[in-house]
Amino acid sequence: MSDSDKNADDLFYRIGQSADDDANLVVHRGKACYVVLNRFPYNAGHALVIPYRPVAELELLADDEAADLWRTVTLTVSALRRAFAPQGFNIGLNLGACAGAGLPSHLHIHVVPRWHDDVNFMTATAGTRVHPNELDKVHAVLKQAMSEISHP
């Protein structure tokens, strides 16, 4: 199987190459990474920061990709603060299938806004996710905040 065939099966690669940002819930595109809303969020504004190049491990990122990944995480936190005023964040990644990575061949960082008394326990105890906002509205608000911060 060629690299292009492998990449065709990679959802994050396809989104990264697509021009339809609204349909894919992309809120920002940088040099080496882009930001997309999670379609199955733990909280309003749950975003993923994803390198365009599909790599499974952090040490496989080139220095410029690693730097842009962290810059983009920081930009995402700033935009989420502006858009939704969260009181905290969970930021992390799962490397490898045994660590819980849903797409282990393409690393990505979760940026999850948190508020006091949010219902995060519901996923663990009841197998239920509560998301009080419509994704298209969250997308529009966060995309605007990202634009304002990245192009002042």
**Which residues are designated catalytic?**
108
Query: From the DSSP assignment, how many helices (H) and strands (E) are in the chain?
Result: 6, 5
User: Phi and psi (nearest 5°) for 92?
Assistant: -175, 175
| Contact status, residue 148 vs residue 82, Cβ threshold 8 Å | yes
For residue 25, give the DSSP letter. T
* Beta carbons of 143 and 28 less than 8 angstroms apart: yes
Helix (H) or strand (E) holding 109: strand 109-114
